[in-house]
Structure 1
Amino acid sequence: MTEVKVRLRPLVSKLNLPTVLKTTILPGDSNERLFIATQVGEIFYIGNRDIVTFLDIRPRILKLGASSGGYDERGLIGLAFHPEFYYNGLFYLHYSLAGSQGPGAMPGAPFESFKPDPCDPKTLNLKWENRENQYDHIDTVEEWILQSNGQPQKRRTLLNLRRPFLNHNGVSSLNFSPETGKLVLTTGDGGSGYDPFNLSQNDMEIAGKIIEIDVAKNTFIDNSPVVTRFHELPVPIQETLTVIAKGVRNIPGISFQKFYTQYIKYAGNVGQDLVESIFSFMHYKPIPVTQLVQASLARSELDQEGFINFGWRGWEGAFPTSFQKACSTNPERSEKINAYYDEAIKTSERRLPPLINYFHGDRRSDKIGATSLTGVKPYMGNEIPALTGSVVFTDLARTRNQDSQLPVRGALAYTRARADGRLNDYRIIETDYNFGSQAAYYVSLGTNLNQTRLYLGVYGSMKVGDPNQGTVFEIVP
């Protein structure tokens, strides 16, 4: 792969944390507009020369950062426009509901505190008990409509999801599939660390899955229930859902790249301690939720041939999931201990191998010392020829030496899908923008409708409570 250098052209600054970057054409308009959704609940679009407020749902959003020292993974995390938005005005939101704060599934424990102990079987088989009371918050997925008077209005609730912890809810979690025309929801494993309840591999759990929602089935349910498992949903809602994949830890959306008459699907899985991973697949066999529920009730095994499994929690990318124990003889080195040996064996043949891995703590100058994958997008444009047909991805913040005085910088890189489907390498994309002494976390990545333009969301802090530190750039030659 060749060396690539790009410029970052600022489009708008002094934003709150930009979680989603999408483009669409407004009804009656002729130009494609860039829409920016912020974690606190604002949606803007860039007009001719100014930024226009499209929707502000901040009063509907849970109070962010209060229980976690300012850091948070909740809020407005999903926005998608219907493929026929220009004609029907329909769009979809995924956000954390105001007033839904709970004590957490493990009250009193910090959200990243859980770590399995292979010597203690109790830690390998925890159950999420008393879910109606022991949870962190409620996420909702809603359908909205842009009315003829230009005012958006909520139309219906598609799902209300009770979540065990504040993290791993997904981000840029809503996208429409150009293959099926259905809304695709990507959910994380529910949070904490190491998926303590193994929700991602349990077929009845909504957490840790990629789900298709058939919004053409115009199902309205009054007082839509708050659920964690598929069988808790009313049958009319079950009938709108199919499951594409399981074994998800946390995922910054799903992307589709047209390849002749088919589409390559790309999904990143945020890592635990070892690696960040990007998966790609073309063919898959989704399973209707009604079949999953029937099999569960009958205690029978469904044929899952062709069903996508990313392998978590037994596998972290291409490796059995491990945790690290510092070496007493050399603090800079650590011992890797297998966290879930039995589960790694059980899922070893069924899991999908990743397209690439990139490592935490990688000190090589031409690689990323990873923190967290925040975006994966195909690029089909010609303005940056070396990237044409590639997959561009972002990491929140490159690892630096402990004694480094340099400010935090995110990372931009690219890879390509191999014809044989095997692991590929990647290369860093060099950028010329001078952020000065300000931190620059790369928090989101977006494209326009035909994937010929790339957009990057950058924030000056890790804390959602630090306001107005966001800038959205276009990535240009």
Structure 2
Amino acid sequence: MKKGWVYLFALLFVVSWISPTQCEDQLDATVEIRSFSFQPESITVPAGTTVTWINRDPFAHTVTADDGSFDSGSIRGNGGEFHLALSEPGTFPYHCTPHPSMRGEIIVAPAEMPDLETGEGPRVGVELVAEGFTAPMGFITSRDGTGRIFLIDQVGLVKIVYPNGTVLEEPFLDLTDRMVELRPGFDERGLLGLAFHPEFSENGRVFVFYTGPLRPQAPDGWDSTNRLSEFSISTDDPNRVDMGSERVLLRIDKPQFNHNGGTIDFGPDGYLYVPIGDGGGANDVGLGHPPDGNGQNTTTLLGKILRIDVDETGDDAAYGIPADNPFVDDEDIPSEIYALGFRNPWRIAFDTGGDGALLVSDAGQDLWEEVNLVVKGGNYGWNIREGTHCFDPADPRNPPQVCPEVDARGEMLIDPVIEYGHDLGTAVVGGYIYRGQALSDMVGRYIFADWSNSFSTGNGTLLVATPSEEGLWVWEEVYIADSPTGRLDLFIRSLGIDDDGELYILASDRLGPVDSTGAIFKIAPPPEGQNETDEG
């Protein structure tokens, strides 16, 4: 590692200030400096990548290696840039000298990915269903017997897709004129969730979760306002939403652009569940984050799973509160809160079999990714813990040996059921307990994914875990047959499900919400001669 640092330091004087036009033959990646944070705070790139930092704040910042081996000097505000070419594998933490709470890291992976084709583990095939989307974020059925599946695109569109791959030209829903303007390089905002009322075929009620511009009543300097809204189906066209029918149920202001949550879904109990991120930035600290962090603070909806009753209104409220929500009798805690202690719970799903368990994938920060089996009133640890490990917001790369086992209310912190480190990937993508028929060896197991182990080249990983009554579930990689790497070699953005319980992978070739590389792949049995449980 020391040799790598020396090499990087020597290289800095040659390449750190080269212009983007001089880097056309190299890989590149971008980190934005915004709201006194590096976004994303951790970036994994292959060796040979040139990373560009763009300062969007009005104030000057620096990009300074923790051991002093590289230093950008002052990067002017409102568009100043710093370029750094990275040739040696390793982990390079850095900070801003004038604002030391701003921290980030670069993980440089070997340029050549390992050949996973002969690795042990289950294999599946993938079949292209449809393509030409921008940033597919969800693929769900309306469960009304029509066979339609609805593709949620981050840019603000919902498209209807039929099982044969036919995509209706006219969007089912178009929110592009109501959303915040998305950043093409990388963004976590946009249209993130769609849910159909359990009695949709009779009442035509549709619910969406998306990011709008910051409302006037929000605190100064914050980023945007997430909206939970209800729409009605058009009386003239069952394949279109009446865009004039929007009824905003809930507005949640956010201090930073990231950690929005995403999936919304109705549980077996008929109530709507809404995951909300901790507000963004890093470490759950800074602008808009109280001293104890939003994940642990019980006066805010940020960093929580909410549960509401959309069939009940009254007292000028847009929704009701289930009578058995865990905090309905505590006037100091918002009664919508169902569970707490989350960083970015952007994918949730209920098991359609068994006891209807709620599984929530919570994207980690520097070291660990996790999936939680969520129960009413549970506290899942952020920012006291990251996964099963202690977490120190002041030193996120070095977990303390000891940390509290209970929250401020004296309730036990609950460990995740799945955990993996950033040697595998960078962001967990929650999936589903498989209840379909095509993959016989997968029934009853949790199929999920990791987004990518690189921010410059898509390299998503499909995974499967076996539920356990106690302790962490055992997971393994699922290899994609006929792929040289065993992976999809795209950014995996989400998984989807149809009426038969079969699963889909939603992916794109671009980091940000741009272009039309988004595609839907159906997970299928492997080609003949390659068994699902082939040991290679």
1:214 partner letter? D
Equivalent runs, 1:284-323 vs 2, <5 Å? 284-285=375-376, 307-322=377-392
Residue 57 (structure 1) aligned with residue 119 (structure 2): no
Q: 1:57 to 1:470 in 2, by over 3 A?
A: same
1:177 partner letter? G
Out of 306, 322, 342, the residue aligned to residue 211 of structure 1 is 306
Instruction: Please report how far the alpha carbon of residue 100 of structure 1 lies from its aligned counterpart in structure 2 after TM superposition.
Output: 2.8
- 8 Å Cα contact 1:273/1:322 also seen in 2: no
2:214 partner letter? S
- 1:147 is matched with 234
- 2:336 is matched with 242
Q: 1:427 to 1:345 in 2, by over 3 A?
A: same
Equivalent runs, 1:339-354 vs 2, <5 Å? 346=407, 350-354=412-416
2:166 partner letter? D
Q: Deviations over 1:2-49 (max 9, x none)?
A: 8321111111112110011111245xxx43211101001010011365
Partner of 2:356, secondary structure, is: strand
Which of 1 and 2 has greater Rg? 2
What is the alpha-carbon distance in structure 2 between the residues aligned to residue 467 and residue 11 of structure 1?
19
Q: Deviations over 1:264-321 (max 9, x none)?
A: 221111111111111114xx44xxxxxxxxxxxxxxxxxxxxx211100000110001
Q: Deviations over 1:105-139 (max 9, x none)?
A: xxxxxxxxxxxxxxxxxxxxxxxxx9521211011
What is the alpha-carbon distance in structure 2 between the residues aligned to residue 86 and residue 12 of structure 1?
25
What is the alpha-carbon distance in structure 2 between the residues aligned to residue 446 and residue 219 of structure 1?
35
- 1:277 is matched with 370
1:472 partner letter? I
- 1:256 is matched with 350
| Gaps in structure 2 of 5+ consecutive residues | 1-119, 319-331, 526-536
- 1:189 is matched with 278
Runs of 4 or more consecutive aligned structure 1 residues displaced over 6 Å after TM superposition: 435-438
- 8 Å Cα contact 2:407/2:413 also seen in 1: no
Residue 175 (structure 1) aligned with residue 175 (structure 2): no
Instruction: Please report how far the alpha carbon of residue 438 of structure 1 lies from its aligned counterpart in structure 2 after TM superposition.
Output: 9.9
What is the alpha-carbon distance in structure 2 between the residues aligned to residue 249 and residue 395 of structure 1?
16
What is the alpha-carbon distance in structure 1 between the residues aligned to residue 488 and residue 122 of structure 2?
24
Residue 82 (structure 1) aligned with residue 82 (structure 2): no
Instruction: Please report how far the alpha carbon of residue 439 of structure 1 lies from its aligned counterpart in structure 2 after TM superposition.
Output: 5.3
What is the alpha-carbon distance in structure 1 between the residues aligned to residue 448 and residue 221 of structure 2?
36
What is the alpha-carbon distance in structure 2 between the residues aligned to residue 443 and residue 435 of structure 1?
21
2:267 partner letter? S
Partner of 2:297, secondary structure, is: coil
- 2:465 is matched with 415
Q: 1:36 to 1:268 in 2, by over 3 A?
A: same
Residue 31 (structure 1) aligned with residue 125 (structure 2): no
What is the alpha-carbon distance in structure 2 between the residues aligned to residue 439 and residue 9 of structure 1?
14
Partner of 2:479, secondary structure, is: strand
Partner of 1:51, secondary structure, is: coil
1:427 partner letter? E
What is the alpha-carbon distance in structure 1 between the residues aligned to residue 315 and residue 246 of structure 2?
9
Instruction: Please report how far the alpha carbon of residue 240 of structure 1 lies from its aligned counterpart in structure 2 after TM superposition.
Output: 11
Q: TM-score, normalised by structure 1?
A: 0.73
Instruction: Please report how far the alpha carbon of residue 336 of structure 1 lies from its aligned counterpart in structure 2 after TM superposition.
Output: 2.0
Partner of 1:40, secondary structure, is: coil
2:173 partner letter? L
- 1:470 is matched with 518
Instruction: Please report how far the alpha carbon of residue 356 of structure 1 lies from its aligned counterpart in structure 2 after TM superposition.
Output: 1.5
1:174 partner letter? I
Instruction: Please report how far the alpha carbon of residue 60 of structure 1 lies from its aligned counterpart in structure 2 after TM superposition.
Output: 1.1
Q: 1:202 to 1:49 in 2, by over 3 A?
A: closer
- 1:301 is matched with none
Instruction: Please report how far the alpha carbon of residue 244 of structure 1 lies from its aligned counterpart in structure 2 after TM superposition.
Output: 1.5
Q: 1:217 to 1:316 in 2, by over 3 A?
A: same
- 2:447 is matched with 392
Instruction: Please report how far the alpha carbon of residue 194 of structure 1 lies from its aligned counterpart in structure 2 after TM superposition.
Output: 0.8
- 8 Å Cα contact 2:369/2:387 also seen in 1: yes
Report the number of matched residues: 378
Instruction: Please report how far the alpha carbon of residue 444 of structure 1 lies from its aligned counterpart in structure 2 after TM superposition.
Output: 0.7
Q: TM-score, normalised by structure 2?
A: 0.65
Q: 1:242 to 1:345 in 2, by over 3 A?
A: closer
Partner of 1:86, secondary structure, is: helix
1:206 partner letter? L
Q: Deviations over 1:228-251 (max 9, x none)?
A: xxxxxxxxxx99953221001011
Q: Deviations over 1:38-92 (max 9, x none)?
A: 0010100113652012122211111100xxx621000001111111111111110
Q: 1:323 to 1:397 in 2, by over 3 A?
A: farther
Residue 201 (structure 1) aligned with residue 296 (structure 2): yes
Farther off after superposition, 430-439 or 348-357: 430-439
- 8 Å Cα contact 1:213/1:240 also seen in 2: no
What is the alpha-carbon distance in structure 1 between the residues aligned to residue 393 and residue 221 of structure 2?
26
Identity fraction in percent = 26
| Gaps in structure 1 of 5+ consecutive residues | 103-129, 225-237, 286-306, 326-333, 362-368, 401-405
Out of 136, 153, 158, the residue aligned to residue 43 of structure 1 is 158
